[in-house]
Amino acid sequence: NAGVTQTPKFQVLKTGQSMTLQCAQDMNHEYMSWYRQDPGMGLRLIHYSVGAGITDQGEVPNGYNVSRSTTEDFPLRLLSAAPSQTSVYFCASSYSGKETQYFGPGTRLLVL
């Protein structure tokens, strides 16, 4: 099992550009989520999904969109990048969100 994979590892964007961060898992997990990690702050939940076709907002959803068309994939879209979205983004998954969540390696995003 590859576990949770994320691409790209690193990305530089200009303000206003859009992009999609990819996340995939091969553990047949129903629950998937996106967190961002900023210096001096704990990881914060952006969006989550309890299964294919079902998504909902987390703590800091503004500026981000998600969709879940398959169990395996949970992409995160930045609609119009802003410098405040410079961060490290982690995708996580679990059988149900109430069990241990396993994290991917992260995507480091810099918005200029």
Partner 1 sequence: EDQVTQSPEALRLQEGESSSLNCSYTVSGLRGLFWYRQDPGKGPEFLFTLYSAGEEKEKERLKATLTKKESFLHITAPKPEDSATYLCAVQGARSYNTDKLIFGTGTRLQVFP
Which of these ranges, 12-20, 34-42, 65-73, 77-85, lies near partner 1 under the rule CB under 8 A?
34-42
User: Which listed residue (61, 73, 95, 103) binds partner 1 by CB under 8 A?
Assistant: 103
**What is the spatial distance between Cα 66 and Cα 33, in angstroms, rounded to a whole number?**
10
Using rule CB under 8 A, residue 41 touches partner 1? yes
Closest separation in Å from C-beta 85 to partner 1: 19
Residue 23 tokens, joined = 């996340």
Rounded Cα–Cα distance for residues 35 and 46 (Å): 5
Question: At closest approach, how far in Å is the CB of 25 from partner 1?
Answer: 12
Q: Cα(63)–Cα(16) distance, rounded to whole angstroms?
A: 11
